[in-house]
Amino acid sequence: MTGKTCPIGCLLAALSLLSVSASANPAGVEGWLTTADGSRKLSPMEDVKVVQIAKGQNPDIVINTQKRFQKIAGFGASITDASAYLIQTKLSENARQALMRELFSRSAGLGFSVTRITIGASDFSQSHYSYADVPGNPLADIAPARTHLIPTLKTMRAINPQLKIIATPWSAPAWMKTSGSLIKGRLKPENYGDFARYLVSYTIAMRKAGVPIDMLTIQNEPHFEPENYPGMRVEPAERAAFISGHLGPKMRREIPGTKLLDWDHNWDQPESPTAVLSDHTAARYIDGVAWHCYAGEVAAQSLVRDRFPKKETWFTECAAGQWSGNWEKAFNWSVRNLIIGTTRNWAKGW
C-alpha cells in the first residue's frame, strides 16, 4: 500500500479490523484490534501513535481529498419486535439506558445512526399480525408498536437525533392478498390503493407517535415467499404499477419528507430493480435501491447505480445462520463483502 492512494477499506485488505478513537494526547490514539484468524478480538492495543512522516519518507496511506464518492449516512442494525421486547422487558432501567448509550451515543458509544424496523410482523415477532387486520379498513393502527417498539425507538432518537429509520413490511394485510393470509401470495390489483393508504397512514401515525420514518420500502424480499412467516411476492411490473399509480403520488402529497426505496432483496437479481427504475413514471417517485446479502455478489450494487446514478444505494439486511461457517470464514466474508464491499459499491447507509 505504500505511497498509493487508498480507497475506503484498504486498511482492511488483510481482513483485520482496527478500531481507533482520539485520546487526550493529540499524537496518540486508543486502539482495539480484531484479526481474521480470531486470535485477537477487540484486543486493546498499546502505544498506538499518529506521527508526522519525515521529509522524503513515503507514507503508508494517502487520502485523496479531491476525489469523492457517496456521502455516508451511517451504520447501524435492525430493531425487530423480538429485540424491542427483550430491551424493554428483560433489562433493568439502568441496563437499558447503558445499552442504548453504548449503541447510539455519538460521544460515548458506537454512534449507530441507521436502523430498520418492520411494518407489522416479521420472522422475529411473537405472533403474525399487520396494522390493519380488519378487512376493508386500510388505515394503520400502530397499537402493537406502542408497548415495546416505539419506546425503544424514541430512546434511540433522543440519544442520537440524527438516527435514520427505514421501515419495511414483510406482507400487506392478509385481506389485500391473493392468499388471504400473511403467508405467501401477491397483492391483489384491486387493493393497490388500499395498500398505499396503509403504508402512508402508518408513516403518519408513527410520526405523530414521535418516530419519524425517513425511508419506506414496499416489501421485504419481494421475490421470496417463506413457508412459515409473513411474506409476499411482488414482481417488477407489479412494483412499478403500484408505485406509479398509487403509492408514489400519495407519498408526494401526504408524506413528502419520506423517501422510497425499491427492491430490498439480494445481489443476485439486479435486473429486478433495473426493470422498476426503467419505468420512467415509477422512477420519478423512487429515491434509491435497498440490498440484502444472501445471494449474488456485492458488485451488483454498482451495476444498478451505474445505470441510475441519481438513485441512492442502501444496504438493509444481512444476518448470520448455519450457512455462515466458522468464525474465521464468516468474519473474513463479512469484512470483505459488507464493511468494504457495500461502501465501495456506493452504499451510503448500512
What's the pLDDT tens digit per position in 21-78? 544 445 567 788 898 888 999 899 887 777 778 888 888 778 888 999 999 999 999 9
- Using CA atoms, how far residue 96 sits from 99, 103, 148, 191, 215, in Å, is 5, 11, 12, 41, 26
From the options 3.30.930.10, 1.10.8.60, 3.40.30.10, 3.20.20.80, give the CATH code of 81-349.
Answer: 3.20.20.80
Cβ(135)–Cβ(94) below 8 Å? no
Cα→Cα distances 335→35, 50, 69, 109, 339, Å: 11, 24, 20, 21, 5
* Whole-number pLDDT of residue 233: 98
φ/ψ region of 221 (left if φ > 0, alpha if ψ in -120 to 50, else beta) reads: left
pLDDT at 103 over 70: yes
State how far the Cα of 51 lies from the Cα of 120, in Å rounded to an integer.
Answer: 52
Q: Residues 63, 104: contact at Cβ < 8 Å?
A: no
**What residues does each domain of the chain span?**
1-64, 81-349
Residue 14 has pLDDT above 60, yes or no: no
What are 257-309's pLDDT values in tens digits? 999 999 999 999 999 999 999 999 999 999 999 999 999 999 999 999 999 99
Q: Which residues contact 309 (CB under 8 A, 6 or more apart)?
A: none
